Amino acid sequence: MKNIVLTAVIASAALVSCGTVQSLVQNTFPYTANVMISTGVPANQEVSSTATATNVQTWFGGNNNAQIKDVRISDAKVSVVSPSGGNLSALKSIKVYISSTGTGEKLVASRTDISTTSSSVNLDLNDTGYLDSIVKSSGLTVRTVYELRNQTTSDMNLRVALNFNSVPAQ
C-alpha cells in the first residue's frame, strides 16, 4: 500500500513539474499599436489604420530562423490613451489583422457591438492557428479596422495591445 501511495505522489510531482517547466520555457511577447481617431471620422463607417511592428521585431529581428515555434495570439486589448479620462463609448466595433512581408493578412482579434463606458476592453481572439510565418518575417504590420457608433468630439488615441505565446523550437 505504501508503494502505491509513494508511486502516486511521485507521478503527481513529475506531472506538476513538467507543467511548470513548460510554462517556464513558453515565451510571451507583446506588441502595441496606436490608433488615432480624428474628430472628422464619420460614424457607422469602417475605417482602417495601419502600424508597423517595432516590439515584435526586437524580439525576433525579422529572423525566420528564430528558435521559436507554435506562435499564437494569447491576449488582445484596446484602451484609450487620450484624452485623459476618455472612454470607448464612441466605438462600435474593432477588428485587428496582422501580416508581414510575403504573407497574407490574418484576423487575430475583434469585438463587435462594443457598449461600454470603460476606458479599455478585452477583444475576442480569433483562432488563426499558428502565426510563426507572419511573426518571424520582417515588416510585421498590424491593421486595425474600426467603426464608430458616434462621431467623436475630440481626437482620440487608442492603444491596441497584442500578446503572443510561443515555445522554443527543438
Cβ pair 104, 97 in contact under 8 A: no
Specify the higher pLDDT residue, 74 or 58.
Answer: 74
Choose among 86, 84, 74, 79: nearest CA to 167: 74
Q: Quote the pLDDT of residue 29.
A: 77
CATH number of residue 157's parent domain: 2.60.120
Contacts of 9 (CB under 8 A, 6+ apart): none
pTM (2 decimals)? 0.78
State phi, psi for 107 to the nearest 5 degrees. -75, 120
Is residue 84 assigned to a domain? Answer: yes
Is residue 19 assigned to a domain? Answer: no
Report residue 16 CA to chain centroid gap: 28
Q: Report pLDDT digits (tens) over 106-158.
A: 999 999 989 888 999 999 999 878 888 887 777 778 999 999 998 888 999 99
Helices (H), 33-160: 55-60, 132-135
Cβ pair 70, 166 in contact under 8 A: yes
Tell me the three cell numbers of residue 75.
Answer: 491576449
Q: Quote the pLDDT of residue 136.
A: 76
> Domain tally for the chain?
1
Is residue 6 assigned to a domain? Answer: no
As a whole number of angstroms, the distance between CA 49 and CA 39 comes to 15
Cβ pair 41, 47 in contact under 8 A: yes
As a whole number of angstroms, the distance between CA 12 and CA 16 comes to 6
Q: Quote the pLDDT of residue 53.
A: 65
Q: Confidence class of residue 24 from pLDDT cuts 50, 70 and 90? A: very low
Is residue 17 assigned to a domain? Answer: no
Domain containing residue 136: 27-168
Is residue 5 assigned to a domain? Answer: no
State phi, psi for 11 to the nearest 5 degrees. -65, -40
Is residue 18 assigned to a domain? Answer: no
Is residue 1 assigned to a domain? Answer: no
Q: Quote the pLDDT of residue 59.
A: 53
Is residue 12 assigned to a domain? Answer: no
